[in-house]
Structure 1
Amino acid sequence: MRYTFSTLTFSLLLLLPFTFVIQPLRAQELYRPEQDLGELFEQVQLQHVFPDSKTFPDAVPLAPPKQILEAYQQQKNQRGFSLEAFVKEYFQMPPQPATGFTTDTSLSVTQHIERLWPILTREPGADGGSLIPLPKKYIVPGGRFREIYYWDSFFTMLGLQASGETELIQSMVDNFTHLINTTGHIPNGNRTYYLSRSQPPFYALMLRVLAQQKGREVLKTYAPALRKEYDFWMDGSEQLSAANSTHRRVVRMPDGSILNRYWDDQPEPRPESYREDVELAQESGRNPEEVYRNIRAAAESGWDFSSRWFADAQNLGTIHTTDIIPVDLNALLYHVELTLQEMSVLNGNRTEAREFERRAKARRDALLKYNWSDEADFFYDYDFVKGTTTNIPSLAAVYPLYFCMVKKKQADAVVQKLEEDFLQPGGLVTTLHRTGQQWDAPNGWAPLQWMSIQALRNYKHDKLADTIAQRWMELNEAVFQNTGKLMEKYNVTDISLQAGGGEYPNQDGFGWTNGVLLKLISLNPQLQEEVLQEVEMQE
């Protein structure tokens, strides 16, 4: 009989009211391949049984893990034993991206994306593997990414908003609320191996999208969940002191202000990249736990991986994410604090509203003090161990402009650097460093194009915003016309080449690319006409 962890239990729960479903999950009920399979998991990953290290953690056991391990111990030393054959006997491999979906390039890209939404939609429930069950429908990015991802989902929701898919937006918000209420935070994705970390805190921005569709009063409903997420990010902040200046994701700065960093509670190889992490730790010559912690913290940032996190700005082996105060993370948390302030006003709690307003102002002042470089007229991440900015330019610098945290003079200086250094034929490049990592040059990513375009519009730099939007839309459209695909990332420097770098091939599907492109088209119909004319001329 096929073994499914808690599938029946959860299926029965789904028949009950939503308020009952969100009772806390018991960790022992969840299948954790890296823990439950022990030596077997380690050997499958280190022996490179599958080309993609994510395959085995996503596979579904066909018997209880204890029974599988007993069989492995009995058979592993027998003549002719095949680890690959054993795994395929005892596990159901995760589904491949092939869905029977056929691209029709005679359709517009808008029609293509709207045909893709059902293909990328997953139904609630469990599969018996490492997937954490969710109570409602959700969108996955596509390709090897078979589960929901935290920050991806905000940008996907922008496209759902343009498509009028309000109820699907509601479902995804409710799923993230469910994760906050059952796990204490929003994990990187709904896999058990992602539980030790989160991703950039975009939940408050998701609530803004929902409020645009359903009215501002909806914010009151989600105030308790947003407060829980905020408490997760701020855990330990009240115990910090000059002698004890860090705890998990919070850092006490020399002036006593509190800022945040990325973190992960488990200094171990990532299950979904186990072999890669072990090999990197060995090659680095550093304490393996230190490497694993910083690798995982960078995965929490969503920028996995980038020169932003490297001590020498070039090599992954020098990664030191947990030493860094990221400009984007703290801008996002500033917005969380302002949203909690607004929620407090809506709920009639003026005292609490004043407190969150105070916290937001303190964070803004600290970010401007530590992350702004007067010399470069630009925002950088801050290395609090060295006591200086990292001076590694990246598009994270647009986040304070997106949230209107700066005065026009500072904004204009950031915009000037974007135009002079980051603007490329296909849009904005992520960083100015070429390291072979996917979150560096020559790659551009949909979420960062969106944040940058909106940041520019906030400060009336509409001409440059239009230029970036048009170049990005043209690149997306041209690749779609040539391949029938929308990609996870793009080479914006040489638009004749595909994007590359990182731990896996470029994926298509693709949730946040679809979302941002559809939203840009809906906001810029005239630009879209010009884009189509330009692409036709190129052909």
Structure 2
Amino acid sequence: MFGFVAPSVTFGQSLTSPEELFGSLFNDIQNSHIFSDSKTFADCIPTEDPVLIIERYYQQKNDPDFNLKDFVMQNFRIPAEIKVDYVTDNTLTTEEHIRKLWPYLTRQPEDQERGGSLIPLPLPYVVPGGRFREIYYWDSYFTMLGLKECGRVDLIENMINNFAYLINTFGHVPTGNRTYYLSRSQPPFFSLMVRLYSEMEGKKILKKYLPQMRKEYDYWMDEGNCESGDFNCNRRVVRFPDGVLLNRYWDDKATPRPEAFREDVELAEEAFEKHDVSRESIYRHIRAAAESGWDFSTRWFADENDFSTIQTTDILPVDLNCLMHHLEKTLAEAYLLNEEFECYQDFELRAKKRCEAIDTYFWDSTRNYYMDYNFAKKEQSKAVTLAGAFPLFFKLAGKQQSHYVRAYIRLNFMRSGGLLTTGLKSGQQWDAPNGWAPLQWITYKGLRNYNFHKTANELSDEWLSLNEKEFKRTGKMMEKYNVSDTNLEAGGGEYDVQEGFGWTNGVYLRMKNRRK
């Protein structure tokens, strides 16, 4: 359909996740602390057939002089981080630097390492950078914003076609093109990518990618045997007693994540000992939070001070349901263009019902702000987050609601370097004091949608100034920033702050050019 050939499978490559492929060898390596980052071995490339490596391991592991680290180095190639290997020119502006950066963050099909956990893609794509050596789903939309500003329509088309290839192959877009990501997705931004591309190439683009958008929709809306009743659920769908269908994050596995193996095992043990919660339940909640992209935040915790109370699959996120509404509206328009009028009417009705449900279940009339909904407790979540800005981005808020949200954001989230993600300083990276490019853009555009240009411009001034200040100081664009104290670096999370960085670059260029 798209004029490319699917990548061929080579020796050592399998669609089996590495923890399943290598079994106890994988567990032993991840528990041995050979690598400080669990993702390193998950991305390693076997130098020969994995079956031979496993046999060799069982033959040698009980030898008195056996050394596991040496064994790994002899049988696997260690993946390199995506580094920017040129010296930053301090005479360049931030925008000039980003334009020079794209080639360093772009992977060509022939450059992709074959074997291991990487799923080869047929066309070039942009990676975030650092330890993130593969494409990431929701990151890519914000990266595309910058590519559009640079006139890189070709790269945008290639990346959308790669996502279409993944949907055609697996039925959904995985978190990234790794086998260990196949059991989950990320925030469904494909319809926004298609819309972005259609702004450059016309409405025919909606028709072109209609089959893939519908296939992704069916993945997220898999009801299974989810019959009407008291909050029945199946995978990513929750059916309310009144028949309303809303979405949550989920993962089809309930095991430790290969890329964060030790951390997940330790947290599950803590939850079991402290709260008598099954390890499988904790693994599922952790993985669902990873699907959200907000990994991790007190947004998902029952007790904001205790990570082991994570409860992601009990929560219906407001941002996810806004994204699903956009997908429904886009599908409706695509069906109309295709003259499939019954499908058009069907999806218009689905979008209308979801819009009403967002207002019913996510709008908090006491706070005058949008909140997540905890369907297990049948009440709104207590966590106040910047996800409440998504209804403004998608124009789902009423006029009065928009005024309340603007005021709430100014009071609770706006700081000297941009917007906080939450107001809690927990040590998790999606909490204070960190700010993230995608949420700055969502909020900025949402404010502009309701003509709050003064607040939007203040936000962009603060965020762009922080990006430029850090670039002048370090010569780097970063994954996240400390927006509360702009003299300090961002922190928290399972890994060091990464440089590159795809979505920061994209949002910077789009926001900067909108101000010109």
Opposite residue 164 of structure 1, the aligned amino acid is: G
* Residue matched to 1:339: 330
Show the 5 A alignment for 1:264-279. Answer: 264-279=251-266
Cα separation, partners in 2 of 1:61 and 1:31, compared to 1, 3 Å: farther
The yes-or-no answer on 1:484 pairing with 2:484 is no
- 2: CA distance between counterparts of 1:100 and 1:502? 26
Which shows bigger deviation, 98-107 or 409-418?
98-107
Counterpart of 1:132 in 2: which secondary structure? coil
1:531 corresponds in structure 2 to: none
Please list, as runs of the form range in 1=range in 2, the aligned pairs for 1:124-523 lying within 5 A after superposition: 124=109, 126=112, 127-236=114-223, 239-242=226-229, 245-285=232-272, 286-523=277-514
Conserved? CA contact 1:97–1:143, under 8 Å: yes
Residues 120 and 142, structure 1, Cα contact 8 Å, conserved in 2: yes
Q: Aligned pairs, how many? A: 509
1:240–1:247 contact (8 Å) kept in structure 2: no
In structure 1, C-alpha distance between the alignment counterparts of 2:324 and 2:21, rounded to whole Å: 35
1:434·1:440 contact (CA, 8 Å) conserved in 2?
yes
Please tell me the residue identity of whatever aligns with 1:400: P
Per the normalisation by structure 2, the TM-score is: 0.96
Correspondence for 1:74: 59
Cα distance, 1:407 vs. partner?
Answer: 0.7
Q: Following TM superposition, by how much is the alpha carbon of 1:520 offset from its aligned partner in structure 2, in angstroms?
A: 1.0
Q: Quick one: which amino acid aligns to residue 58 of structure 2?
A: Q
> What SS does the aligned partner of 2:38 have?
coil
With over 3 angstroms needed to count, the CA separation of the structure-2 counterparts of 1:492 and 1:203, relative to structure 1, is same
Residues 121-148 of structure 1 deviation map (CA, whole Å, 9 limit, x = unaligned) = 0012552111111110000000000000
Letter in 1 for 2:91: S
Q: Secondary structure at the match of 1:251?
A: strand
Partners of 1:24 and 1:333 lie apart in 2 by 34
**CA positional deviation for 1:99:** 4.8
| CA deviations over 1:225-244 (Å, ceiling 9, x no partner) | 00000000001167432167
The answer (yes or no) to whether the contact 1:399–1:451 under 8 Å persists in 2 is yes
1:380-424 Cα distance to aligned partner (Å, 9 max, x none): 110001010012110100111111111110111111010011100
Match of 1:10 in 2: none
CA contact 2:81–2:132 (8 Å) conserved in 1:
no
The answer (yes or no) to whether the contact 1:281–1:317 under 8 Å persists in 2 is yes
**Which runs of 5 or more residues in structure 1 are unaligned?**
1-15, 526-539
Structure 1 counterpart of 2:104: 119
Q: Cα–Cα, structure 1 residues 375 and 142, in superposed 2: closer, same or farther, change >3 Å?
A: same
The one-letter code sitting in structure 2 at the alignment partner of 1:410 is Q
Partner of 1:48: 33
Contact (CA 8 Å) 1:22, 1:178: kept in 2 or not?
Answer: no
Query: Which residue identity lines up with residue 36 of structure 2 in the other structure?
Result: P
SS in structure 1 at match of 2:484: coil
Q: Which residue number in structure 1 is paired with residue 47 of structure 2?
A: 62
Is 1:38 the counterpart of 2:29? The answer is no
SS in 1 for 2:122: coil
Task: Report Cα offsets for 1:211-251 as digits up to 9, x if no partner.
Answer: 11111211110000000000000011674321671000000
Q: Secondary structure at the match of 1:18?
A: coil
Alignment partners' CA distance in 2, 1:238 and 1:404: 33
CA distance in 2, matches of 1:99, 1:462: 36
Distance in 2 between residues matched to 1:302 and 1:389, nearest whole Å: 21
Match 1:90 to one of 69, 75, 84:
75
1:18, CA displacement in angstroms?
Answer: 3.1
Report the alpha carbon displacement of residue 24 of structure 1 after superposing the two structures with TM. Answer: 12
Please tell me whether the aligned partners of residues 225 and 234 of structure 2 are also in contact (alpha carbons under 8 angstroms).
Answer: no
Higher alpha-carbon deviation: 367-376 or 238-247: 238-247
Which 10-residue stretch deviates more, 123-132 or 380-389? 123-132
Runs of 4+ off more than 4 Å? 22-25
Whole-angstrom distance in 2 between the partners of 1:305 and 1:134: 28
Q: In the aligned structure 1, how far is the partner of 2:224 from the partner of 2:460?
A: 40
The answer as to whether partners of 1:31 and 1:129 remain within 8 angstroms in 2 is no
Superposed CA offset, 1:412-470 (max 9, x none): 11110100111000000000111110000100000000000000001110000000000
The worse-fitting range, judged by mean Cα deviation, of 230-239 and 129-138 is 230-239
In 2, Cα distance between equivalents of 1:507 and 1:254? 44
User: What does residue 533 of structure 1 align with?
Assistant: none
- Cα distance in 2 for partners of 1:233, 1:310 equals 23
Task: Give the conservation status (yes or no) of the 8 Å contact 1:223–1:340.
Answer: yes
Equivalent residue letter for 1:435: S
Q: Secondary structure at the match of 1:209?
A: helix
Secondary structure of 1:21's partner?
coil
Structure 2: where are the runs of 5+ without partners? none
Alpha-carbon RMSD: 1.8
Stretch moving more, 306-315 or 240-249: 240-249
- The residue that corresponds to 1:7 in the other structure is none
